[in-house]
Chain A
């Protein structure tokens, strides 16, 4: 029997190993980036961006959690 070769991770070639199991957490930086770019475009002065981006980041997360809960409930009802 040939022993299995040890797994060697190559960044930017192989998928990130931990992202496979914890993919939901990878949505947080994406939401933060969307909030930051959106508010950077919308705000007239950049000094307002950090606070407004933080607020809309929280709203995005709350909206996603509520949508996930609603969809999970819908699936449960339909089963």
Chain B
């Protein structure tokens, strides 16, 4: 399922991996890895929204207030899907169940942290390929 790399620039590979989880590997020609990682991360993120409701993605009011909602740092690493979710959550009135909300927040933040691992690894592989 692998093919030849179409992109070897590490920053661009990292950016692609943030925009769509797994896309960095896809550009490196590692399509099996790209699909496995991308689909898994997106499923985890969507499961988090399903378990806790979309309000689990709760953006702080400005960068200065990030310490009040530090889990958003993890969530934003999952890509633009978290930004869209935060915008939609802002327009939603919702009820809260403590356990469900915590688990949903955990799922979405872990999805972002897993994507950070994938971004770092794909950029590292790109730097090795560009140096080879």
Contact = CB atoms under 8 A, between A and B. Distances in A.
Contacts of A14: 53, 94-95
A59 interface: no
Q: Is the interface of B mostly helix, strand, loop or mixed?
A: helix
B50 A41 contact: no
Contacts of B44: 29-30, 33
Contacts, number: 82
Contact of B97 (A11, A15, A46): A15
B52 A15 contact: yes
A37 B37 contact: yes
Interface SS of A by simple majority: helix
Interface string B71-101: 0000000000000000000001011110111
B36 A46 contact: yes
B53 A41 contact: no
A38 B32 CA distance: 14
Interface of A: 11-16, 19-20, 23, 26-27, 29-30, 33-34, 36-38, 40-41, 46, 49
Ordered nearest first, which 7 A-B pairs have the shortest CB separation?
A: A15-B100, A23-B99, A15-B97, A46-B32, A19-B100, A37-B114, A33-B44
